[in-house]
Structure 1
Amino acid sequence: MATNITWHENLTHDERKELTKQGGVTVWLTGLSASGKSTIGCALEQSLLQRGNNAYRLDGDNIRFGLNKDLGFSEDDRNENIRRISEVSKLFADSCSVAITSFISPYREERRKARELHDKDGLPFVEVYVDVPIEIAEQRDPKGLYKKAREGIIKEFTGISAPYEAPENPELHVQTDKQTVEESAKIIIDYLLEKKLIK
């Protein structure tokens, strides 16, 4: 761990809020592969931007091709992936953006650490359980990952050969076998408005 570093004081979060006319929040979408997390994240980001809110989506496509391209899919690497995402989403929230994360993030402990990281700095953290029966997720299987997992090509695959620990007390629970993408995004926006996390 680096010891020759010094924290540089700058604008406070409250000063940023005043200047940007927006608070910051992380919306953490968690669920099985093919549950609809990224699709909802895209719709949510577009809706927020169209409303005039500053928002940015973080998911496997823009994280694992860049920041986390050095990580594999072992349990340790997946945990480190989530740790880094937690830190980056906290920075976005601190900058008064709506950070939208779309990651399986299968372990409650790692999601708890992400929440605590935000709580420590007084930044809102909204966990959204994107729920779908695994049978439906397998039918969707847009990347063919479930098929590869069933064939043993992918050894550790969440929901098949590796666990998924569903949230016990998420702020929001959307069911993508019963709700459309637009309905799911609206549920999240309505919650953010109700809690005065966006205007």
Structure 2
Amino acid sequence: MDAAPNIVPFDPIITQQDRHIMNAHKSGLVWFSGLSGSGKSTLAHQVEAKLYQKGIRSYVLDGDNVRSGLNSELDLSPEGCRENVRRIAEVAKLMVDAGILVFAAFIAPYEESRRFVRELMAGWSYFECYVKCSLEVCEQRDPKGLYRRARQGEIRNMTGISAPFEEPANPDLVVETDQYVLDACVERVVDFLNQQRLIILR
């Protein structure tokens, strides 16, 4: 039985704007997309740490962390990847409504999925950050040994090896982690958040 006709969303008393006033900063979603090993999680967590020191309420939704819980049953097939992105986008939207600045660090290899997130967040503060790093450098880093195992045939549907990564065509921000040191990349993201008026740091 379809439950949709019986679902009536409750109108909140406290709004997103109320939370922005309480926090003294806006909420929003920044989606860090890029190959495994490009530095998405490292960058997102370092930005979170810097903002924490400034009293900014933010939170990182990390790919491996989410797949170890909420999305633990999903595989790496195209369908599994799309559902992974869909679920985390819905969770992130709730967190943005709660007044939090959310950083989602997920490969999100398909343009279709990234377009879904952008459409879902229409009217909300949403920005796509392409963490750009060459496959060669990502393989050299290989912090989890995934590329090595994929080359040996132990992992199927490995993005960049046996599965595609559709490079973002029009991201809001590009951070080249194979060209700049981590501190410079963090500053680039923080400066961008300032420019978008999500935060105000002096």
Tell me the TM-score normalised to structure 2 length.
Answer: 0.93
What is the Cα deviation at residue 61 of structure 1? 3.0
Task: Report the count of equivalent residues.
Answer: 197
- The question of 1:165 aligning with 2:166 is answered yes
What is the Cα deviation at residue 156 of structure 1? 0.9
State how far apart, in whole Å, the 2-side matches of 1:175 and 1:29 are. Answer: 12
State how far apart, in whole Å, the 2-side matches of 1:45 and 1:2 are. Answer: 38
Q: Which amino acid aligns with 1:174?
A: V
State how far apart, in whole Å, the 2-side matches of 1:198 and 1:2 are. Answer: 39
Asked if the contact 2:85/2:108 (under 8 Å) is kept, the reply is: yes
Gaps of 5+ in 2: none
Partner of 2:193: 192
State how far apart, in whole Å, the 1-side matches of 2:76 and 2:127 are. Answer: 25
What is the Cα deviation at residue 79 of structure 1? 0.6
State how far apart, in whole Å, the 1-side matches of 2:100 and 2:173 are. Answer: 20
Partner of 1:146: 147
Cα root mean square deviation, aligned: 1.2
Asked if the contact 1:22/1:97 (under 8 Å) is kept, the reply is: no
Identity of aligned pairs, percent?
44
Partner of 1:50: 53
- The question of 1:14 aligning with 2:38 is answered no
State how far apart, in whole Å, the 2-side matches of 1:16 and 1:54 are. Answer: 11
After TM superposition, the structure 1 = structure 2 runs for residues 110-121 of structure 1, keeping only pairs within 5 Å, are 110-119=113-122
1:46 aligned counterpart, secondary structure: helix
State how far apart, in whole Å, the 1-side matches of 2:90 and 2:183 are. Answer: 28
Partner of 1:69: 72
State how far apart, in whole Å, the 2-side matches of 1:182 and 1:52 are. Answer: 19
What is the Cα deviation at residue 110 of structure 1? 0.4
What is the Cα deviation at residue 187 of structure 1? 0.5
Tell me the TM-score normalised to structure 1 length.
Answer: 0.95
Asked if the contact 2:76/2:158 (under 8 Å) is kept, the reply is: no
2:121 aligned counterpart, secondary structure: helix
Q: Once structures 1 and 2 are overlaid, which stretch shifts more, 76-85 or 1-10?
A: 1-10
1:57 aligned counterpart, secondary structure: strand
